[in-house]
A = this chain, B = another copy of it.
Amino acid sequence: MLFFQEELDNLKVTILKMGSLVEEAIGQAIQALVERNSQLARRVIDNDTRINALDVEVDEECIRLIALRQPTARDLRFITTAMKITTDLERMGDYAVDISERTLELNEEPQLKPYIDIPKMAEITQGMVRDVLQAFLERNTSLAYEVINRDDAVDELNAQIFHELLFFMIKDSSTISRAVKVSSISKYLERIADHATNIAEMVVYMDEGKMIRHIRHPEESS
């Protein structure tokens, strides 16, 4: 039988693995979009089952640890936060699937415009996912705050992309259907960044007991 500390460490490894699969899914989904690679898009969709399986695995392990180990208040907060965090990670994976679905549709038609801001957005978002998990696992609240601050840049890029697409739509209504799909992809990335921000706020709450997750700006209309 393992010691509790080893079990906690194993749990952390599983969460890290889940996070890196999510990060990879985002990267591949955007690569598939930019390179118009439908095969890669389909791979992202298929691989989502691995992310989902890890979500269940973490949940079950957390329940088991709470029931059998009766952890201290500090560890208990870590474990219950882990259960919430994986729900957010799992939903990020769903958005990578959504991006891939739109990519498959877009690949049926000529490309509307070269993608410049969307890969930029994806890069920031992937960094947020990576860093927020590190913040959680190392209880590093200053890193969590830093992740929260990066969310504004993603929101701005999303708004900028939307206004650019609006310009296409107004000028030529035959672009509307494609422009809406591209705008959805940008919106999905923005949602993934929101989930990373939610996790960061939970990390701060876990460690400082301070609820910052509810002083959120309302969304932009894009």
Q: A55-B214, A67-B76, A219-B98 are in contact. Are A166 and B176 (CB under 8 A)?
A: yes
List B contacts of A176 (CB < 8 A).
166, 169-170
Closest residue of B by beta carbon distance from A72 = B67
Q: Which of A170, A181, A214: most chain B Cβ within 10 A? A: A214
Contact A66 B80 (CB under 8 A): yes
Contacts of A83 in B (CB 8 A): 80, 83-84
The distance in angstroms between the C-alpha atoms of A84 and B86, with both chains bound, is 10
Interface check A134, CB cutoff 8 A: no
CB of A101 within 8 A of CB of B219, answer: yes
Count of this chain's copies in the oligomeric assembly: 2
A102 to B97, CA, bound (A): 28
Chain B proximity mask over A60-92: 1 for CB below 8 Å, otherwise 0 = 001100110010010011001001100100100
Q: Is A94 an interface residue (CB 8 A)?
A: yes
Contact indicator A211/B94 (Cβ below 8 Å): no
Inter-chain contact B105/A49, CB cutoff 8 Å: no
Complex Cα gap A73–B60 (Å): 11
By a CB distance below 8 angstroms, the chain B residues around A221 are 101-102, 105, 180-181, 184
B45, B67, B73, B219: the one within 8 Å of A73 (CB): B67
Q: Is A5's CB within 8 Å of the partner chain B?
A: no
A84 partner, pick from B52, B87, B211, beta carbons under 8 A: B87
Q: How far is the CA of A177 from the CA of B45 in the complex (A)?
A: 33
Q: Is the CB of A180 within 8 A of B70?
A: no
Instruction: Give the distance to chain B from A27, nearest Cβ to Cβ, in Å.
Output: 19
* A56 at the binding interface (Cβ < 8 Å): yes
A173 at the A/B interface (Cβ < 8 Å)? yes
Q: Which of B66, B97, B214, B216 contacts A76 (CB 8 A)?
A: B66
The answer to whether the Cβ of A218 comes within 8 Å of any Cβ in the partner chain is yes
8 sampled A-B residue pairs with Cβ under 8 A: A48-B214, A52-B211, A55-B214, A80-B83, A94-B218, A101-B221, A169-B169, A180-B221
* Beyond A56-B211, A101-B221, 19 extra complex contacts between A and B, CB < 8 Å: A45-B218, A48-B214, A52-B211, A52-B214, A55-B214, A63-B76, A66-B76, A66-B80, A67-B73, A97-B218, A102-B221, A105-B221, A166-B176, A169-B176, A170-B173, A170-B176, A180-B221, A180-B222, A184-B219
